[in-house]
A = this chain, B = another copy of it.
Amino acid sequence: MQDEKQARKPTLSEVAALAGVSEITVSRALRGSPSVAGKTLHRVEQAAASLGYVRNRLAGALAGGPSNQVGVILPSLSNIVFPDVLKGLEIRLDQAGFHPVLGISNYDPQQEEQLIHNLLAWRPAGLVIAPSGMTDVSRSLLAGAGLPVVEIMDIDTDPVDMAVGMSHRGAGGDMARHLMAQGYRRFAYLGHDIERDRRACARLTGFREALSEAGLILDACVSLAEPSSVTLGRRGLKQLLAQSDQRPDVVYMSNDDMAVGGVFHCMAQGIRLPQDLALAGFNGLELGQTLPVPLTTTATHRTRIGEIAADCILERLAGREPARSTDVGFTLIAGGTA
């Protein structure tokens, strides 16, 4: 080891000098090129270690070498959903020696555009984005970036490059059909700040469409202008029930966090599930499935979305051509709350 405070980090040429070879040989050796003699390799590694050499990938990438950074833009980290996706991304990227560079858009198209610009400035190897209403500028930045781009979560819209996700509209429709099949007829919806969450919006649209096809309607539809949470679901359901003169048969909640809040409200009020009131959520979080009565919901494959998105980037970088759109599907869980 060397001094604790080395102001200037050692460079390739210093390693080269110590090892008695040229810079390029050190470069090749340290990058694991097969065309370096075992003996040379060893000597270079020794020299690098003894100097505490740490490769400068800024210089490498600028000189035309590959980057191992992948830009990742997500709308939020508050709910476990996006960390789950990020986990899948990270696992696969890490295996390939890549790192996610993160940006959070807060569901704001302007922030999103800014982030795309900022992340592109680092010339990443690829970009993964859970879109929040991309602007034309955003789209054109991505189209012109000349790198693999994966839009995740949703496959209801046409992607700039690639897409991995599921149909939220389809999920909403399927849940509506499932609930109708259970015999429910009076439907209500309780959502969080749905203006900003286009995917929650798409589910509601699909839900409505399916009801409509069966000649039914949504009796009540409440959206609260706050991010989703268990607390909000609990409070929201209380409010929804208070303001309905006739209690609905079933409430479709914008996601599991909200739905679990609803379940807790019912528990506290002695409202029996599903006899007195039925509830359905979305996401299939562990939380909802571990309740004494498992939540009726739609399980999504979040980590899988992340993994596949990473694979798309890596495949493309390897010169192959991944599917333009990948549907990871979803699974309706007929739990005990509806």
Inter-chain contact B61/A58, CB cutoff 8 Å = yes
A198 within 8 A of B: no
> Who on chain B is nearest to A88 by CB?
B77
Contacts of A77 in B (CB 8 A): 83-84, 86-87, 90
**Chain B residues closer than 8 Å to A123, beta-carbon distance:** 56-58
Residues of B within 8 A of A68 (CB): 118
A229 engages B286 (CB within 8 Å): yes
A1 to B1, CA, bound (A): 52
Q: Of A5, A143, A264, A287, which is in contact with the most chain B CB atoms at under 10 Å from its CB?
A: A287
Q: Which of A247-276 contact B (CB under 8 A)?
A: 260-261, 264, 267-268
A318 at interface by CB-CB < 8 Å: no
Tell me which residues across on chain B come within 8 A of A55, comparing CB atoms: 121
- Give Cα A120 to B121, complex, Å: 19
Q: Is A97 located at the chain interface by the 8 A CB criterion?
A: yes
CB distance from A323 to the nearest CB of B (A): 20
Question: In the complex the two chains form, what is the Cα distance from A267 to B264 in whole Å?
Answer: 13
Q: In the complex, which residues of chain B have a beta carbon less than 8 angstroms from the beta carbon of A291? A: 264
| Bound-state Cα–Cα, A178 to B106, Å | 39
Q: Is A62 an interface residue when CB atoms closer than 8 A count as contact?
A: yes
Q: How far is the CA of A146 from the CA of B123 in the complex (A)?
A: 25
Name the B residues within 8 Å of A335 (CB-CB).
none
Can you name 24 A-B pairs with beta carbons within 8 Å?
A2-B144, A4-B140, A5-B146, A7-B146, A52-B144, A54-B121, A56-B123, A57-B123, A58-B123, A77-B83, A77-B90, A78-B87, A83-B83, A87-B104, A90-B102, A97-B118, A99-B118, A101-B101, A229-B286, A230-B286, A231-B290, A261-B290, A264-B291, A268-B292
A6 touching B146, Cβ below 8 Å: yes
For residue A103, CB closer than 8 A to chain B, the reply is yes
Q: How far is the CA of A57 from the CA of B122 in the complex (A)?
A: 5
Taking a contact as CB atoms closer than 8 A, the residue among B54, B62, B83 that contacts A141 in the complex is: B54
Residues of B near A104 (CB, < 8 A) are 87, 90-91, 94
- Residues of chain A in range 265-304 having any CB-CB distance to chain B below 8 Å: 267-268, 286-287, 290-292
Which residue of B has the minimal Cβ distance to A123? Answer: B58
Please tell me if the beta carbons of A99 and B90 are within 8 angstroms of each other in the complex.
no
- List residues of chain B with CB within 8 A of the CB of A143: 4-5
Tell me the bound Cα distance from A287 to B260 in angstroms. Answer: 9
1/0 contact string of A1-21 vs chain B (CB within 8 Å): 111111101000000000000
Expressed in whole angstroms, the Cα–Cα distance for A8 and B225 within the complex equals: 44
Measured between beta carbons, the chain B residues less than 8 angstroms from A84 are 77
A69 within 8 Å of B (CB atoms): yes
How many whole Å from A22's CB to the nearest CB in chain B? 21
